[in-house]
A and B are shown apart, each in its own frame.
Chain A
Amino acid sequence: MRDTIRFLKGGEIIELENVGPTETLLDYLRLRRRETGTKEGCGEGDCGACTVALGRLVDGKLIYQPVNSCILLLGMVDGAELVTVEDLEQDDRLHPVQTAMVDLHGSQCGFCTPGFIMTLFTLYHAENEEKSRKNVTDWLAGNLCRCTGYRPIVDAALQACFEATDDAFSWRSNDTREKLQLLADSRDIFIGDSESFFSAPATLDGLAVLYGQHPEATLIAGGTDVGLWITKQLRDLPKMIWLGRLEGLDRVEESPSGVLIGATATYQTTELAMTRLSEDLGELWKRIGSKQVRASGTVGGNIANGSPIGDTPPALIALGATLELQSGDGSRALPLEEFFIEYGRQDRHQGEFVTGLFVPRLSSNQAFRCYKISKRFDQDISSVMGAFRFTIEDNMIVATRIAYGGMAGTPKRALNAEKALTGASLDDPSTWGAGMQALLSDFTPLTDMRASAEYRMETARALLAKALMEISGTAPENVRVLTRREADNDRAA
């Protein structure tokens, strides 16, 4: 047991005994350290002004990820190297990304700039990144700028971020690796007392015991949802259990039958496996939140919280994913769609936690499509999310799984449409109408700030039609506005 957190900053190991259960990293930086370079823009992880970098060892490699410090708990920095904008200058010399931003006029009001600098710093250190506008804008999607219109910032990234690393962090990377290895241990962390604590068990058994003792405690994985309970809902969450130290729970295992995603695997670490499952799924993954959100946010956490803000569950449901849960009493598995009972209510028993998710691979006679409709292309939440898996024999649909988001209080299968489409012919669009019609009986969507009920229903039908058009090849031309794949060619630098 350890009653401190330890991390690296500016080459020094910092050990803190005093860590509040809901204390954010941003408050620690600004209020306790009086390092005010890191800014608060929105307090909910959407604007990126508070971006800092966390360096961690992944398979022995030092990887820097951008994170939103406003919704990241201080305790979650344990074991990492924390890099803020104050750390970049060396001997009064600007870092290459800072120089590029000055030279190319990448700042105007300057308030968002430190956040951009830190995201650019992580891109500078990332390996095997494609030098393209498309890739840069994907990296920058979590940093909002209201002044520049982004062009000079994208140019600065293209100028500075794809050169061989040559900064203080690369020079001392061996030392950093050694120090991070020193910090790595397999002890449980518990700071506080039985009434109020921040804890981070290192084993599943340890978690089961602790959670059994404190079933009202808050489980936090990436914090991209729980963080807002703290900063926006101002909830009192005196007992915090961070899952980030659980060994093996962040695994991503690919097999011929499918992909097993551990509960604390992030969107970032699962992206490649998802792309291999389906190109559309990979596209969808890139449009979940932002780099910062995907670096912290976990697929399991998004499901476990039953967050209505979830664009992945419809796709995972259509693919036939199953969810695995565990408690002190044992474990069980269930089809993902059965986990979501109604808005705000999931099939998770007291003391039970999600351990993983299994997503089966498509068989050779299956076709999959998913579409995310949102007001903004990147870092937005869908108004309608449609996912379709068709099993096809002799150009006849013999089985379907269709799931939508934004059409009900939970991600939900379109059972009537699935039924109506079984037996439809890909060669004969007139056999598709019944499926589209059936959506009317599957869903009664609501009107909210993202879209009206009418638009949602119309679009749900359009997406089904689009999926069928694409799969059947009846549409002679492209039926999507600029996709990322095309953008690759168009925007190649």
Chain B
Amino acid sequence: MTAPLDRNNLVTPMKHVRKGLPHDSAIKHVTGKATYIDDIVEPLGTLHVVPGWARHAVRGRLNAVHLEEVRAMPGVVAVLTAKDIAGINDCSSAFGDDPVLAEEEVLFYGQVVFAVVAETREVARKAALKANIDVAPLTPILTPDDAVAADTTVLPDYQFRRGSPETGLQASSEVLAGTMMIGGQEHFYLEGQVAMAIPQEDGGMLVHSSTQHPTEIQHTVAKVLGVPDAAITAEVRRMGGGFGGKESQANQWAALAALAARKTGRACKMRLDRDDDMIMTGKRHDFKVNWKIGHNGTGRIRAVDIEFLSRCGYSADLSLGVNDRTMFHADSSYFYPDASIRSRRLRTDTCSNTAFRGFGGPQGMLAAERMIDAIAIQLGKDPLEIRKLNFYDGERNLTPYGMPVEEHEVMHDLISRLEVRSRYWERREEIKAFNETNAVLKKGLALTPVKFGISFTLKHLNQAGALVHLYTDGSVHLNHGGTEMGQGLYQKVAQVVAEEFGVTMDKVAITATNTSKVPNTGPTAASSGTDLNAMAAKLAAQEIKSRLVTMLCEQHQCGPEAIHFGDNKVLVGEQAYSLSEIAKQAYVSRIQLSHAGYYATPGITWDRESVTGRPFYYFAFGGACSEVTVDTMTGEMTVDRVDILHDVGHSLNPAIDLGQIEGGFVQGMGWLTTEELVWDEEGRLRTHAPSTYKIPTASDLPAEFNVQLYEGDGNPQETVYRSKAVGEPPVMLANSVFCAITDAIASLSPGLLPNLDAPATPEAIMKAVQDMRRRRSSS
């Protein structure tokens, strides 16, 4: 699989690629000139759409929906119910189980039953409160345990199995077992869900949507309106954050805006209030994990048996891929000789959990780190020693799903460099000394690895298209199927295209993602945005360039090696021409200066049915070392120092990559510490605003925060300029914070594994601390 490294890529000086250029919109961001959907100048007479729901119901049958008072409110133009849907009442990605508007049943707290269309957003919001919805309540199924007891799932169970874990566990010298709860996470993109639909001629609709997946917006709107896909165009210039929360979750609002626009004939905008957004849209899956692990007495793993009970919510949404990815990452970076990794996709009467940066991977890896901590604590060894003892290596390099970890040396090298940079072993001693002299405050330290599989595990999504035009003045129009949500994709792709054409960055016009330019695209997800779209754009640029080269070779009777592109010029032998001259010549010679590039990731052979083949093109690696202090009287915690080393191959843009690493880490840290989703006993989400749901703020930054890119030989696969994907992997660097908290609590009673659940809020920490004290006094 591994292709030989193209050394030319390393020695040829790059003009644009590998440069830490600012985000393409940085100046527009800081001046407030970057246009988000709600900032687009509205067509005259634009109406506003607000969702209406049964504000107390969780699960139940709709007895009656009285909307008379809603309609009667001055300024209300229309009220939409399921009856207004000419097409299919579904906004799901694949499984057909996400009603746009409830018909007979309310399936979860926050399900949309109707939508108000009014002259102003304020009127629509106030009118929506006037509905009288009578729901006959049913006892809801809320927790993983409830769902297991009721045996209710959204998708069939799935399993990876290697060897005989039963025999393996029997043959182990020591077998440890436990249960762990892992909480979900709200995306909290700063720009909430929003869409604006503008009616076009012939029944068409232009839909501006804050979405990671314009093609799915197009398909969903067409399906709901009952028109061909070709009648719908979806466009997005940028999102104010996505994080997976706008992969499928943007569909419903685009569909409702379009439905309203169809009904009224006017432009319609739907922007969710933050509370509605948090209540109605899906989140990161929360899990109950039952694990069992056997080792040989010195800490080398013999067999594992893990059961992932995942709360998927009322519908399947993207839960298949999410839970598969949990299983793919249940090994973290460790070799399991015999393994059973089982996954149940539980159906609960809660919002439908969805994609969130890491896509199930973080939960799988966290469970693995818990098992390692268990072994280390039982043996009284340092957890890092046990981690390294079980790392994949030259011989033991097959994952439980059969893919080899080819770059195990990178993993080893990265972790040992981090060990040195973070002064792990010296600090271990310092922390021991601190804990011996401090009764109330306890410090903890952990160094954990990241190995993240890059590619969509749904094979067909690993394709992308780009549309590149060279104009006769030498400027370039760039368009592709990837969406910009802050990750810097547009800039990275533009750097690649500028590099190919040898033009300065100002010659490359970045344009909004639009389904009428590049069709049939996948979501911008799975960290693959750059791998796929930059490659498609590169191929498009190369094709146009090669046409120019062919023309010039004929004109000048020279070989292609005599032709060079750079500084907005084309060198033919010693003769320099401006690119615009060459482009004009090509135009006059009737040579096409536009190309639709297409790329499909090679080498992916995963077959889910038979559990065979290769799911990932490659792995991205990283490591983080975190130190925390825990107050064992109150459960308060601070992160004192974090050192990160992360592998992005040869970076396309080190500044953007560093931003992804730092931001991903902090987001992961929030997931595992302050961000707690709380439902009440009736199943109503109680944390639906930033007043109650706490994402990290600036003072949560580690006091000392050292982040570096790993300097290695680049991606052994032939990715774009040997770079590696960076969107999701850094989230899992935050596992080190959770393990450090575990380590701090473990110091209270050597030999006992803390039963710490995620997120490690002050209350969760205190629960684990008190549990340690109880077990110590009873042992």
- Which of A's residues lie within 8 Å of B, judged by CB? 34-44, 46-47, 49, 84-86, 88-89, 94, 98, 101-103, 105-114, 117, 134, 136-138, 140-141, 143-154, 232, 234, 309, 371, 373-381, 383, 448-452, 455, 458-459, 462-463, 465-466, 469, 475, 477-482, 487, 490-491
* Given the contacts A109-B239, A110-B238, A37 and B32 also touching, CB distance less than 8 Å: yes
A264 to B659, CA, bound (A): 42
Picked from B33, B126, B486, B631, the residue with its CB within 8 Å of the CB of A234 is B126
Which residues from A are CB-within-8-Å of B697? 137, 140-141, 143-144, 150, 376-379
Are B690 and A46 interface neighbours, CB within 8 A?
Answer: yes
* Given the contacts A39-B36, A479-B440, A151 and B23 also touching, CB distance less than 8 Å: no
Picked from B667, B690, B699, the residue with its CB within 8 Å of the CB of A138 is B699
Are A477 and B655 interface neighbours, CB within 8 A?
Answer: no
A232 to B278, CA, bound (A): 14
Are A479 and B633 interface neighbours, CB within 8 A?
Answer: yes
Picked from B633, B636, B640, B705, the residue with its CB within 8 Å of the CB of A151 is B705
Question: Which residues B231-252 have CB closer than 8 A to chain A?
Answer: 238-243
Instruction: Please choose the segment from B149-157, B164-172, B528-536, B761-769 that sits at the chain A interface, where 4 or more of its residues have CB less than 8 A away.
Output: B761-769
Size band of the interface chain B makes with A: 35 or more
Are A113 and B663 interface neighbours, CB within 8 A?
Answer: no
Which residues from A are CB-within-8-Å of B687? 449
A307 to B699, CA, bound (A): 26
Are A449 and B686 interface neighbours, CB within 8 A?
Answer: yes
The answer, yes or no, to whether B34 is at the interface (CB within 8 Å) is: yes
A-B pairs with beta carbons under 8 Å apart, 17 shown: A37-B32, A43-B273, A43-B274, A44-B689, A46-B689, A102-B27, A108-B663, A111-B240, A140-B699, A144-B690, A149-B665, A154-B698, A234-B129, A375-B694, A475-B440, A478-B440, A491-B703
Which residues from A are CB-within-8-Å of B243? 146
* Given the contacts A42-B690, A376-B674, A475-B439, A109 and B190 also touching, CB distance less than 8 Å: yes
The answer, yes or no, to whether B753 is at the interface (CB within 8 Å) is: no
* Given the contacts A44-B690, A146-B241, A458-B766, A49 and B676 also touching, CB distance less than 8 Å: no
Are B678 and A94 interface neighbours, CB within 8 A?
Answer: no
Question: Which residues B510-544 have CB closer than 8 A to chain A?
Answer: none
A36 to B269, CA, bound (A): 16
Picked from A38, A149, A232, A469, the residue with its CB within 8 Å of the CB of B275 is A232
Are B240 and A102 interface neighbours, CB within 8 A?
Answer: no
Which residues from A are CB-within-8-Å of B766? 455, 458-459
Are A109 and B665 interface neighbours, CB within 8 A?
Answer: no
Which residues from A are CB-within-8-Å of B630? 481
* Given the contacts A146-B241, A150-B701, A465-B633, A41 and B32 also touching, CB distance less than 8 Å: no
Q: Mark B480-499, 1 if CB is under 8 A from A, else 0.
A: 00000111100000000000
A482 to B161, CA, bound (A): 46
* Given the contacts A44-B689, A102-B27, A487-B703, A462 and B633 also touching, CB distance less than 8 Å: yes
Are B634 and A459 interface neighbours, CB within 8 A?
Answer: yes
A150 to B23, CA, bound (A): 16
The answer, yes or no, to whether B555 is at the interface (CB within 8 Å) is: no
The answer, yes or no, to whether B222 is at the interface (CB within 8 Å) is: no
Which residues from A are CB-within-8-Å of B488? 108
The answer, yes or no, to whether B696 is at the interface (CB within 8 Å) is: yes
* Given the contacts A110-B25, A113-B30, A466-B633, A153 and B698 also touching, CB distance less than 8 Å: yes
A44 to B689, CA, bound (A): 8
The answer, yes or no, to whether B629 is at the interface (CB within 8 Å) is: yes
A46 to B23, CA, bound (A): 26
- Smallest CB separation, B26 vs chain A (Å): 5
B26, B188, B676, B686: most-surrounded residue (chain A CB, <10 A): B26
Picked from A39, A101, A383, the residue with its CB within 8 Å of the CB of B30 is A101
Picked from A40, A89, A143, the residue with its CB within 8 Å of the CB of B31 is A89
Q: Identify the closest chain B residue to A228 (Cβ).
A: B691
Which residues from B are CB-within-8-Å of A140? 697-699
Which residues from A are CB-within-8-Å of B767? 455
Are B23 and A105 interface neighbours, CB within 8 A?
Answer: yes
Are A147 and B634 interface neighbours, CB within 8 A?
Answer: no
Which residues from A are CB-within-8-Å of B191? 39, 41, 109, 111
* Given the contacts A39-B190, A47-B690, A109-B238, A149 and B667 also touching, CB distance less than 8 Å: yes
Besides A39-B240, A148-B662, 6 more A-B contacts (Cβ < 8 Å) are A94-B27, A109-B191, A117-B32, A375-B761, A380-B694, A479-B633
- Smallest CB separation, B413 vs chain A (Å): 25
A404 to B36, CA, bound (A): 44
Are A450 and B31 interface neighbours, CB within 8 A?
Answer: no
A49 to B191, CA, bound (A): 9
- Smallest CB separation, B715 vs chain A (Å): 23
Q: Identify the closest chain B residue to A484 (Cβ).
A: B699
* Given the contacts A102-B27, A110-B23, A375 and B701 also touching, CB distance less than 8 Å: no
Q: Mark B202-234, 1 if CB is under 8 A from A, else 0.
A: 000000000000000000000000000000000
Q: Identify the closest chain A residue to B628 (Cβ).
A: A481
Are B274 and A151 interface neighbours, CB within 8 A?
Answer: no
Are B662 and A86 interface neighbours, CB within 8 A?
Answer: no
- Smallest CB separation, B238 vs chain A (Å): 7
- Smallest CB separation, A371 vs chain B (Å): 8
Are A383 and B36 interface neighbours, CB within 8 A?
Answer: no
Are A149 and B663 interface neighbours, CB within 8 A?
Answer: yes
Are A154 and B700 interface neighbours, CB within 8 A?
Answer: no
Which residues from A are CB-within-8-Å of B486? 107-110, 147
A106 to B656, CA, bound (A): 10
A137 to B275, CA, bound (A): 26
Picked from B38, B441, B485, the residue with its CB within 8 Å of the CB of A36 is B38
Are A481 and B30 interface neighbours, CB within 8 A?
Answer: no
Which residues from A are CB-within-8-Å of B694? 374-376, 380
The answer, yes or no, to whether B692 is at the interface (CB within 8 Å) is: yes
A151 to B655, CA, bound (A): 12
